[in-house]
Amino acid sequence: MFCDNCDLLDCSVVDELRQQVAMYGQRYDIETGLLNNQSFQDALAEFLRDGPAGQEIALIWIDLVNLRREFSLYGLKGAEALARRVAGNLRSVKDSDAILGRIGARSFLVAMYASKLDKDGRNRIQAVADALTPLWLQELNTKPEVVAGVAFYPSDTESVEDLVRFASLAAARASREKSRAVIAYHAGMNSQVMHDHLLYTQMMKGLDQDQFSVSYQPCVDLKWGHILSAEALIRWKHPEWGQLKPDDFIPIAEHSGLIDRIFYYTLRTALKDTQQWKRLGLFIPIISVNVSATNMRKSDFIDSVRGILEEIPIKPSQLELEMTESVLFDDEEMLALRIRQLKEIDVRISIDDFGTRYTGFNLLKELPIDTMKIDKCFIRGIDRSKDMQVLCKTIVAMARQLKLHIVAEGIEEFGELEVMQQIGCDAGQGYLFLKPAPADEFVVFLRNWSGWNSRFGFASAQGRVLSICST
C-alpha cells in the first residue's frame, strides 16, 4: 500500500481517496453532510417528478439568523458547530421521505409532503422550525435563532427554481417581520421584491446623479413667533416618476443600507446651508436632521457625525438629530448608548412622531433627550376635538415635567395653532407657516418672516429670526 518512490501511502490510494472526497464535496455540504445547492435542486426536481400524483410538496427555507454573530464570537468552528447541530436536528425531525439541503452558509432547505390548505400540513411545517429553537449548544453557550418561509408545489409554482426562490422570499419576509411563525409565500411578495429592487437601483443612480435635494421647514416659537429651528427633509425627484414621498423610499433605503448615504448627504447639506444662511445674516439657532435606527446602529456612527461637524464647523449644540419613537424600541440598550454618546459630543436629541408608539415614561426620563415632537395625527382637527385637546394637554404637561422642549407637528390651520398656543405648547411646525421648501425659497421665507408673522397672533408682533439663542 506504500508508494515505492515517496514512502507515503500509495499514491494511487491517496488519489482515489482525494477523488472520493472531491466527489462527496461536489454533492454534499462538507460540514453538515446535507445536500449542497446544486444536488439539492436535482434531488428536489426528482422529488417533485416522482411524488404521488396530486400530492402537494412544501419547500421550507430556514435561515439561521445568528450565524454571523456566532462566527464573530466563536470563529468558523463555532458557527459550523451550530450549523451541524441544526442539520442534525433537522434530520431527526424530518419525515422519512423528506429531503434536506444547505444553501449558502446560513440557509437550510427541507422539502416534504404537505398541503398548503391542510391544517395538519401547516402544523408539521411549523414543527420543523420549532424543533430547532429550543436547542442549546452548551459548549458555545448559544442556540439557533431561526426564521423560516415556505412555498408550495404546484400551487405556488411548478418550477423548481422558482419554488426555491419563493421559499427564500417568504423567509426574507419572516426575517423582516421578526416572525417566529413560518411565513407562507404569496404572489405579492414577488412583485414587492421586484418593485423594491427597482426602487433600490434607481435610488443608487439618483444618489450618483444628484436627483436628491434637501428642503427645509421652520419650527416656530408659539408664543413669540421666533424661528427656533429648521428641519432638513430629504426630497427625491426622479426624472420619470417625478417627486417621490420619503415614505415611498425611506423604508427601502433602510433595508438596503442606502439610508447611510441619504443620512450623511442630508446632514452635510443641512450644515452647509446653515453656514450659508449665517453668512447672509440669517441665524438659525438649531438645524434638525432625521436619523434612523439603521444609521445609529453602525459602529462608526458617532465618529462619522463628529467628523462631519469638524469638516463643516458649526457648534454641535446647534445640531439636533430627530429619531422616531420606534427607534427606541429595537435594541433599546444600544440606542440608549448612542443617545448618550451623542450627548457627550453636545449634539441635541429629539423624539419625532411622539405618540404613535408607546414610549415608557422612565425611558424618556432616563435618556438625555432635549425635544419631543407631537405627531401630526394629534394636531389634525384638534380645534374640533375636546378629547384630543385633553390628550395634548397631558402630553405637554408630561414634557414640562421631563423638562423637554415640546413641538407640535403638522399645524395646517389657524384653529389648530390657536389651541396649541392655549395649551402652552412651546413650538409648532406645519404647512400653516411653510411647506418644506428648497433652500433658496427658505431664505426668502426667513427674510420675510418678521414682516408677516403678525397674522399668527404671537405675543410679540416683531418675532424675528434670531432673537432667541443669540449665542
Residue numbers at the binding site for ligand G (CB under 6 A): 217, 233, 246, 290, 322, 352-353, 376, 409-412, 430-431, 436
User: Distance from first CA to last CA of the chain, Å, rounded?
Assistant: 89
Residue 279 — φ and ψ, nearest 5°?
Answer: -60, -30
User: Applying CB under 5 A, does 371 fall inside the site for Mn ion?
Assistant: no
357 CB-side CA count, 13 A: 14
Least Å from the CB of residue 456 to ligand G: 14
190 CB-side CA count, 13 A: 12
Q: Which does 383 bind (CB under 5 to 8 A by kind): ligand G, Mn ion, none?
A: none
Are 419 and 428 in contact by the 8 Å Cβ rule? The answer is no
Q: Which does 285 bind (CB under 5 to 8 A by kind): Mn ion, ligand G, none?
A: none
Q: Which does 320 bind (CB under 5 to 8 A by kind): ligand G, Mn ion, none?
A: none
Least Å from the CB of residue 204 to ligand G: 22
Which residues, other chains included, contact 12 with Cβ-Cβ below 8 Å and sequence gap of 6+? none
Cα(238)–Cα(354) distance, integer angstroms? 31
Cα(201)–Cα(213) distance, integer angstroms? 18
Residue type, 29: D
Q: Which does 410 bind (CB under 5 to 8 A by kind): Mn ion, ligand G, none?
A: ligand G
Q: Which does 431 bind (CB under 5 to 8 A by kind): Mn ion, ligand G, none?
A: ligand G
Cα(62)–Cα(412) distance, integer angstroms? 48
Closer to ligand G by Cβ: residue 132 or 411: 411
- Residues 357, 362, 368, 370: is their CA dihedral positive or negative? positive
By CB under 5 A, name the one of 29, 156, 352, 426 that touches Mn ion: 352
Number of residues that bind Mn ion (CB under 5 A): 3
Cα(442)–Cα(342) distance, integer angstroms? 28
- Reported as type and span, the H/E element at residue 357 is none
Least Å from the CB of residue 263 to ligand G: 13
CB under 5 A: which stretch of 42-50, 114-122, 138-146, 352-360 binds Mn ion? 352-360
240 CB-side CA count, 13 A: 4
Cα(76)–Cα(79) distance, integer angstroms? 5
Least Å from the CB of residue 290 to ligand G: 5
Q: Which does 409 bind (CB under 5 to 8 A by kind): ligand G, Mn ion, none?
A: ligand G
Q: How many other CB atoms are there within 10 angstroms of residue 464's CB atom?
A: 16
- Reported as type and span, the H/E element at residue 443 is helix 439-452
Closer to ligand G by Cβ: residue 214 or 396: 214
Least Å from the CB of residue 379 to ligand G: 8
Least Å from the CB of residue 316 to Mn ion: 19
Position of minimal CB gap to ligand G: 430
Least Å from the CB of residue 22 to ligand G: 57
Closer to Mn ion by Cβ: residue 74 or 216: 216
User: Applying CB under 5 A, does 375 fall inside the site for Mn ion?
Assistant: no
By CB under 5 A, name the one of 202, 269, 290, 371 that touches Mn ion: 290
Q: Which does 80 bind (CB under 5 to 8 A by kind): ligand G, Mn ion, none?
A: none
Closer to ligand G by Cβ: residue 114 or 234: 234
Q: Give me the residue label for grid cell 457627550.
A: 344
Closer to ligand G by Cβ: residue 235 or 393: 235
CB under 5 A: which stretch of 87-95, 112-120, 317-325, 415-423 binds Mn ion? 317-325
Cα(396)–Cα(417) distance, integer angstroms? 15
State the SS3 of 330-345: CCHHHHHHHHHHHHHC
**Which residues are near Mn ion by CB under 5 A?**
290, 322, 352
